[in-house]
Amino acid sequence: MSKMIDTDGFRKSFAAAPSERPPCSGLAELFEQSGAAMQFTRNAEIYCEDEPADYACRVVSGAVRICKLMSDGRRQIEAFGLPGDIFGIELGDSHRFTAEAIADSVVRLVRRSAVIGFATRDAEAARSLWALATRDLERAQEHVLLLGRKTAQERVATFLLGLARTSACGIVGRADQAMEIPMSRQDIADYLGLTIETVSRTLTQFEAMGLIALRTARNVALCDRAALRELNG
């Protein structure tokens, strides 16, 4: 399902890229220095809900989904993890979500005890851990607003703009350049609290309105960001 690999190549290339996403430089280094890189194939489980939270994770490449399943199969994706994102640090003893690879991915794992040790190292380290939780909180709160009060069009517009922002961090591309969508329609739907059909229809509408251009199902260009921001709410 997943195997240990050596990823010095990955480490160097990502350490060189001045990513602005993770607010916690010290934590990132912790993963680079004492983390074990693991490869996960598409749809492989990284950890499961209620499983002991022995490890914390950082995405090196690929993409992951952090989600919850209801007893009848309904699924809600809380967040996507893209390169640089840290996830799986828990207050309690067990994971409160399931984490799965969306695409073939490399994830670095560090022991829970190492994170705790890091937190008690110095004030700066403790602050970065607090900042990480706070940033996750802010993201979750934006998500609450989206799910509670936005229409399908607004949700999809917000999603596209958010994805453009994160993918612009890694690849310094032009504004109107096409971007890859790493997740399936089902993933997008479960993130936005919609169905695949509604996501698909909304994207088609956006294309008809001239807001986006779909080169393939997984490759989209934002043609009219101003209009998308209007729809943002």
Partner DNA sequence: CGACATATTGACTGCCATCAAGTAGAGTGG
Partner DNA sequence: CCACTCTACTTGATGGCAGTCAATATGTCG
* Nearest-approach distance from CB 156 to DNA, in angstroms: 10
List the one residue from 161, 201, 224, 232 that touches DNA (CB under 7 A): 201
Cα separation of 81 and 31, whole Å? Answer: 15
How far apart, in Å, are the Cα atoms of 31 and each of 99, 108, 209, 211, 220? 18, 6, 44, 39, 32
By CB under 8 A, is residue 58 in contact with a second copy? no
CA 109 to chain centre: 16
Using CB under 7 A, which of 27, 79, 157, 203 touches DNA?
203
DSSP 140-202: HHHHHHHHHH--HHHHHHHHHHHHHHHHHHHS---TT--EE--S-HHHHHHHHTS-HHHHHHH
Give the relative orientation of helices 25-34 and 112-119 as an angle to the nearest 10 degrees. 140
Among 5, 48, 133, 171, binds a second copy (CB under 8 A): 133
The rounded distance, in Å, linking the Cα atoms of 73 and 57 is 26
Binding to DNA, residues 2-61 (CB under 7 A): none
Q: Which of 120, 208, 216, 226 binds a second copy (CB under 8 A)?
A: 120
Cβ at position 76, least distance to DNA in Å: 12
Binder among 21, 68, 111, 225 for a second copy (CB under 8 A): 68
Q: How far, in whole angstroms, is CA 233 from its chain's centroid?
A: 22
In this structure, are residues 189 and 195 in contact, taking their beta carbons and an 8 Å threshold?
yes
**Piece in contact with a second copy (CB under 8 A), picked from 28-36, 98-106, 135-143, 161-169:** 135-143
Residue 114 interacting partner from DNA, a second copy, none (CB closer than 5 to 8 Å by kind): none
DSSP strand pairing (219-222 vs 64-69): unpaired
With CB under 8 A as the contact rule, which of the stretches 4-12, 123-131, 156-164, 219-227 interacts with a second copy? 123-131
Which residues of the shown chain bind a second copy in the complex (CB under 8 A)? 68, 70-72, 74-76, 78, 90-91, 96-97, 119-120, 123, 126-127, 129-131, 133-138, 140-141, 143-145, 147-149, 190, 192-193, 233
